[in-house]
Every structure is written in C-alpha cells, then in structure tokens.
Structure 1
C-alpha cells in the first residue's frame, strides 16, 4: 500500500467524507451534486487504478541490489545543509521559531526551496539506507542523522514540509527494509499518525499563540475553532488541538465545494498555457512566469483556510475541463514514473515513489502536483537514476 500512490490518494478523501458528516463548524456546508459525484468517481478511480498499479510495481529487487552505506556523503550533505540554513538565519537575523520573523516570509528567494528539497532528499535517502542496513543493528547513527535533518524544519516552523518528508521517509524505510506489515505494526502506525496529528495541532496553536505564556501557548485552540465556526469556550481542552487536523481536511473539501458553486468561469479569460504551467510545473518555476498566479480568497468558506484539494486551482484556472485534465494527469503520472525508474537502481525507484506517495496523500489538501517541496525531490530521483544508468552503460 505504501508504494501505491493511488491507494494513498483515496484515503484522505474517504476520511474527509466521513468526518465532513459531523459538520463540526458552520463553514462545512452540504456538498453540491457535482462535487459529491466528483469525489465518488475519484475514490473509485483511485481504488481501481491502484489495483492495476499493484500488478506492475517492482517487488523483491532490493534483495539483488548491492546496498552500500554512503555514510561520508551523508555527513557532507548534512554539513552543507546546516551551513546554508544558518546562512539564511544570519541573513534574516533569526528564525521563525524565535518569533523574530514570520515563517511565510523566511527564506532567501530561489536558494531556499533548493535547500529545503535537498534536505528532504537526503533525509529520505538516509531512511533508505537505514532500512537496507537494518540487520546490522546500527540504529543510532541513522536516528541521529534523521533528527539533525529535522532541525531546519523546526527552526522554520515548517511543520507541513516536515510531516510530508517524514511520511516519504517512513514509506522508504518500510519498503527498503522489506518489513512485513503485521497487525502490531499497523497499530503502531495508527498511533504514530494520531500523535502526529496532535503535534500538528500543538504546533499550530504555538504559531498563533506565540506571545502567550504558559501551557495555553500550546493548548489554546480558540483561534482555529472560531475560524471553523465551531463552539468555543474560555477554557482550553486537552483534545481540542485535534481540530487543526479535522478542519484542515474538511475545509479543503468545503472550499472546492464553495468554489464550484460561486465562481463563474469566463472562457474568454482563461488560458490553457497558464493552466498547464501553474497546475503541473514546480511552483518555484511557474512563479517566475506568473508571480501572482491565483487569488482564491473570494470563494473560500473562510479567508484563512487556504487549502482546496488539487482540483480547486484546476477549476480556477480552466473550469471543469481543468478538473478533468488534472484527474487524468493524476492517473497517468505514477505509470509514467514507473516506466522511467523501473530499469534504474532500486534506491531511486523507492525514493521517487515515496515522495510521489506523500504527494498523492496530500492531494486532498492542495495542488501538490506543483508543490516544489515534493516534486523537485522526485526530479532528483529521476536524474539520479538516469545518470546512474548512463554511467553503467559506459562500463560495457
């Protein structure tokens, strides 16, 4: 399942459908017939093509590959990442975690996305080496490196990128270690997921309550509850931080529902070239062509809820035709990546698909197809696989 992006894409939508029915907040209005049909077809398509994809994915090749622990390269990469991260901190005279600068404005243009994606790629590569060398019982050195490479995301309060990268890393570890997923492991993964969602909520509270003192800095969830139109009180409750995860998922579906209901598409103003560029190219590239790509605030259920599934931007850019093209693209992308990576080293196949799986898991939140943080590491894996094959071909 973890190497099958189709199955992972369906999980949040199914979960969102279930949670949406609780209507924990006035922003969650009933779905229109079109949106209900879209989500139903999306779930069915992901399950069907996920089944087909499971029949062609590479299995067992890892036992044939000569896995070498390139420890020295990791050390060099970690040093480079920390040097560049500290350089950015010096440039901005502090980090977002210190409250001296907003997380949204932190980062040197062009350089920042390269640092973050390189960090992610190295971090997931360490997970791969950890999995392939699991039998050697040298856990500590891998755990230390994983913790070290998580620090830049913590300094920048970039919880979303950290979570997506760790999901890709855990996926890589489970595949490369060839661990059989038994019930006990599923329970542990479920518990880890619940804890992660809770920590996500605590960090969200911390970010908005940065100047609050005491435990309320982490436990006061009144801000996000009020945005969602959920009942609020003057006291903080231990379980309320879970609302961050709940409203992030459900408001994303609600925003798409609102967009398709309120926005009228003018065929004379839409551009197919802009649609392709913004929807599918890494956003650090598309921003060079369209600095102000989309303003979707007018149709949001609340201006502060910026997510809207991968289809929200598609509808803004090209109407229902944009949604259909995006739907088809989501279906063909894993098959194309499989064809590109299948003949190369298995490590690139696993790492590339782990990032793709993380990307597909979050399609229910935003237009992840163009998110640099996940799309660029996939490109790194493709380049690495192609270069490795060319190097091997020159030896014969």
Structure 2
C-alpha cells in the first residue's frame, strides 16, 4: 500500500506544476530566440527563483497529505449508467448548436471570427459546465473496468467536446486537455513505466506542433494569407524570431508555443520598467479593488469594477501578444506589494480549498486537485483565479455534492 501511495503522490500537486511551469518559462526565455525578449533584470529574475523555490517547499509539505486522496473511487459504476452521460453530452451539443445559430456559423470553418462567437453569458456557462462534465467522463472511464461501458463513455465524451471544438478556442481546448492529463495522472497508483513516459512525451510534442498548425491556420485566415499552414511566416515575423531560431532545426510551428510562453514574462518586464507605483497610490479602496479583481472570477469583478480593464491596462511589447502573466495586474495595482500579495494567496489557497473539498465534496477530490493543478500550470500566461471559464469550475464539486445527497457509505475512502 505504501508503494502505491508513493506513486500517486508524485503526480498531482498544484505547487509542483506552478514551479515547473515557471522554470520552463525561464528556460525558454534564456534561449533568446525572439528579439522581443529583452533581459529580465535581476529583481524579476530573483523573485521568480524565490517563488519557484517556495512552491517546491510547499509541494514537499503537502504531497503526503494530498497524495493519498487523489485516487478516490466514489460510487459503483452501476450508479452512473452510460445513458446519463450520453443524455448530458447531447444536451451540451444542443447548446453548442444554439451558439452556432446565434453566431451565424462555425469559427473552425472560417464562417465567423472566434472572438465574435458565442451567446453572451451562456458561452461562459457552457464552457465551464461542459469542461467539468467531460472531466467527470474521463474520471469514470479511467476507473471503469468494463470495456463496453468504457467505449460508451468515450463516445459520450467525444460528443460533449464538440461544442468546445466549434468555437476553435485553442485556449479552452488546451485547458481541457491539461485537465484530462491531470485526471489520467491522478488515476495512476504506481510509478509510470518508461514506455508510457516516452509515449506521453511524444504526445505532448505532437500537441505543441498541432497548436502551432492551428495557430497558423487561424492567423492565415485573419490576415488573408494563402500560404500553407505548415509554414509560419506570419508568426515568425510578428514574434520577431531572430536568426538564431531561423537557423535552428526546430520545426517552425513550435515558435507559437515558445513565444506564447515567454511573451507574458516580457510584458511583465515591460510594465515594471514603465510603471512606478508610489506609496500614496496604495489605499484601502485600491486594496479592496485589488482583492476583487485578482481573486474573484471576472464575471464578478467586471460588474463590481467595470472600468478596471481600462484603468489598469497593461503595457504590451506588441499588440498581438496580450497575455501578461499572473503578476502584471497585481503589480499595476499595488506595485511589488501586489506581486508579493498574489504569491502569498497562491500559496495559501490550495490548503483552504482542498480542505473544504475533503470535508464537503470528497468524492470530487481528484477532479478538484486536477482543476487546481491546471490553473497553476497556466499561471505564467495569466491570472487564472480571475478566468471565469476555469475558476468557476472550482465551485462545481460543491454544487454536485450538494445535489447528489449520496450516503457517505457509497464513497470508498482511501485506507489510512
């Protein structure tokens, strides 16, 4: 049993993914493949090293407590007949088709721009609930021994993902794929075999390449460029790929991931260079706005503070790359005090949230920690505490547990 638990603890933990993600970003940044990526400066560099180190420390003190909860088997398969998943998938597909009709076409077919796609408010709810529903299907298929039932669940999951594909939102699909990968890792009770590690690494590389191909397709459509999607002329030009990258043997579609990963850090550096927050700017009212804007879903903060996006609009290295990492808005609001405050919140939040999950929605612990880990691995790009399509999913385990009203006897808790 100890061997199994040790294997489980290794895979799912938001702190290790936060540290790993920022470490990869720093490595990519140091490759110096884009002229947009100027030197970070000692203050930013040291802060990121400290943030990575503290998150690694929190990982070490939390993995024993959370590791044993990430492989929870809740309820017998018979309580979840395949037809319920199918009905749910058809319902989400119906909502997706309503969005297509409302928008006047499919972004994936070039009939409408992806920025103009979707029914206001409904789109956020659809993306949020459908993504959570798909993660539940993934959980059940990973824990189902019956091959027939597993195939039915995969079929339902394929239908459920179609509304997300219709919108051609790479961000939404990447978030979902990361969440699915987290669910897979959380289901493993043994150390991963070497062959599986190689296969997963190959799939990640393939996914990165496809991400670039889709980016080329969408950019070619937006700019009226007729070249092959395998070429990356536009992104290499806009991202100012230098000769070092041009001469490398790296497939050019990979530049999409490289520039997307490093440009938010460049934007953060740009804002620290151009904006100086004075002590007189830090007031109680500003601190309250800082708290709501950074730690509440944006569907809430945009209604409480409707002008904050213009009041604290980040400087950008170029208008095409708008992501500004999780640190920029906190900096623009409270300076380095805001950046340090965000780091403290990021460190404390998982302990509070997962303790509530353990007490109130234990059967969803694996999904909850998968969602949290997905948020943390994406923090180099933006503040995902405020990104409603992902952060609102953190509430769904509580809602589902509330409406299920299952007996605690139906949940198989891990042995002590």
Residue of structure 2 equivalent to 1:110: 121
Secondary structure (helix, strand or coil) at the match of 1:109 reads coil
Matches within 5 A, 1:1-396: 1-59=10-68, 62=71, 65-68=74-77, 69-134=80-145, 136=147, 138-176=149-187, 178=189, 180-210=191-221, 211-213=224-226, 216-231=227-242, 239-268=251-280, 271-295=286-310, 299-344=315-360, 346-388=362-404, 392=407
Please give the alpha-carbon distance, in whole angstroms, between the structure 2 residues aligned to 1:297 and 1:347. 41
- Judged with a 3 Å threshold, the aligned counterparts in structure 2 of structure 1 residues 325 and 134 are, in CA distance, closer, same or farther, namely farther
TM-score, scaled relative to structure 2:
0.87
Give how far 1:212 is off. 4.1
Give how far 1:291 is off. 3.2
Please give the alpha-carbon distance, in whole angstroms, between the structure 1 residues aligned to 2:73 and 2:119. 42
Question: Which segment is superposed worse, 4-13 or 260-269?
Answer: 260-269
Secondary structure (helix, strand or coil) at the match of 2:108 reads helix
- Judged with a 3 Å threshold, the aligned counterparts in structure 2 of structure 1 residues 230 and 64 are, in CA distance, closer, same or farther, namely closer
Q: 1:244-263 CA distances to partner (integer Å, 9 max, x unpaired)?
A: 00001111111111111111
Q: 2:186–2:366: 8 Å Cα contact kept in structure 1?
A: yes
Q: 1:61–1:346: 8 Å Cα contact kept in structure 2?
A: no
- Judged with a 3 Å threshold, the aligned counterparts in structure 2 of structure 1 residues 178 and 97 are, in CA distance, closer, same or farther, namely same
Give the total of aligned pairs.
Answer: 390
- Judged with a 3 Å threshold, the aligned counterparts in structure 2 of structure 1 residues 174 and 259 are, in CA distance, closer, same or farther, namely same
Question: Which segment is superposed worse, 103-112 or 128-137?
Answer: 128-137
Residue of structure 1 equivalent to 2:4: none
Please give the alpha-carbon distance, in whole angstroms, between the structure 2 residues aligned to 1:177 and 1:22. 34
- Judged with a 3 Å threshold, the aligned counterparts in structure 2 of structure 1 residues 48 and 137 are, in CA distance, closer, same or farther, namely farther
TM-score, scaled relative to structure 1:
0.91
Please give the alpha-carbon distance, in whole angstroms, between the structure 2 residues aligned to 1:371 and 1:293. 15
Question: Which segment is superposed worse, 56-65 or 149-158?
Answer: 56-65
Secondary structure (helix, strand or coil) at the match of 1:309 reads coil
Please give the alpha-carbon distance, in whole angstroms, between the structure 1 residues aligned to 2:34 and 2:70. 48
Give how far 1:283 is off. 1.1
- Judged with a 3 Å threshold, the aligned counterparts in structure 2 of structure 1 residues 257 and 109 are, in CA distance, closer, same or farther, namely same
Give how far 1:290 is off. 2.9
